[in-house]
Every structure is written in C-alpha cells, then in structure tokens.
Amino acid sequence: MFAATLNGFWAEIINNIGQGLVVDPNTGDAFWDVQINPDARAYGAELEIAYNPIPEFRVLGVGTYVSSETLEPGGSALSAGGVPGFVGNLVATYVSRMGLGFKADFHYVGNRDIIDASYDSEQEVYTRYNDVGDLQAYHYMNLGAFYTFPNQAITILADLLNVYQSKGLEEGNPRLIGTGGNPIFLARPILPRRFMLSVRYQF
C-alpha cells in the first residue's frame, strides 16, 4: 500500500509580546525583560509519504519546508531567526505477528539564521538587525526494538538514541542582544548517544 499527503500552510502572529534575555549595552549586565517583538508570518508545505510493501513493514517519510519572516518597524521584512528552512524525518518499522518489532528513525534539521538585535527599551522596539551567521544543520538516527505481550496492553521498549553520536544545537536565541564583540548566545545541544529501556501501558 502506498499513500501520500501534501499540505500547505500560512500563518501570521501579531501583538507578539514576550520576555527575553537582554544585555545592558553600558554595564554588560544581563536581565530578563518583557519585550514587544515584531509581527511574524510564515508559509510552507509538508509532504508525507507512507509505504507498506507487506502488512508487517512500514516506511513513513515526512518533509516540511518553511519560509518565515518578521515584519520590522517601518514595514520592512526580515527572515525570522532560529527557524529551519527544512525539517525531515524518515521512520521504518517492522512488527511481527508475535508482537516483536524493530524501528529505525532518521531526523534532519536544516540551517537556522541567527539575528543580532539592538533593543530600545524606552520605545520597546528593536531598532537594528544584523545577520550574524547561522546554526548549522544536524541529523541523527535512533534504533529500537520492542515487544508487546499477546492480548495485553504492555509493551517493553529498548532504544539506542543518537546512534552515531551526532552533534548539533537544537535551538538558540533567535535575536541575540549583545555588547560590542561579545554577543550572548543561548542554545541547547542535542543529547549524546544513550540507551533507554522503558515500559508502556496502553489504556
């Protein structure tokens, strides 16, 4: 069996108020501040493909393309920071009739632009944006095995995550606010290779 789905989307965020880390340009001290962020919009497409050559084996692939931008003061537009242009996932699963199964999962995240912002706290607006580089694309693979007890709702799972010890940054402050040549950068690295054993109960 073969199936494919193509979706398109468009979204816009207005009145975007939140909080973020700000560095005082005079003292270098960092503090959290409520900020009025520029409006943002995004559009893109997602393609999903599923293939079942036999009932026990399934391959599922999903790819998402996103184009995002912020609407800056004065009406200009700029690519939004921290948003990957492409995200993809490929999963292959085999489940025997005895309840024993195996799974392989490959995940890819594309480059993400990072933007340096100068914030005017009195006017509560960003007054300058510079493209200061990007977060590099990363990918990783997970492998797993699982067993579901016959006529039961209990499954035992064993997973080896990030098999080939890939390195990457999952997220970063999309708008870096710094002083001089010392910008502040916040990011979360993906976790290293690890083994996880778990039990799942399906209610």
Rounded to an integer, the average pLDDT of 184-199 is 86
Q: Phi and psi (nearest 5°) for 21?
A: -80, 125
- DSSP-derived pairing of the beta strands 175-176 and 112-120: parallel
Lowest mean pLDDT among 8-12, 72-76, 192-196: 72-76
Buried/exposed 89-100: b ≥16 CB within 10 Å, e otherwise: ebbebebeeeee
Q: How many domains does the chain have?
A: 1
For residue range 165-183, list pLDDT tens digits in order: 999 988 665 555 554 555 5
Rounded to whole angstroms, the Cα distance separating 39 from 16 reads 6
H or E element at residue 103: strand 100-109
- Return the bridge partners of 108, or none: 88, 139
With a cut of 60, say whether residue 111 has pLDDT above it: yes
Q: Which two tokens stand for residue 143?
A: 């492998």
Its domain, for residue 92, covers 2-201
21-68 pLDDT tens trace: 777 767 778 888 787 777 788 899 999 999 999 999 999 999 999 988
Per-residue pLDDT reduced to its tens digit, 63-110:
999 988 777 655 445 555 678 889 999 999 999 988 899 999 999 999
Phi-psi label, residue 122: left if phi above 0, alpha if psi -120 to 50, beta otherwise: alpha
Q: What is the CATH number of the domain that holds 126?
A: 2.40.170.20
pTM: 0.78
Residue 148 pLDDT grade (very low, low, confident, very high; cuts 50, 70, 90)? very high
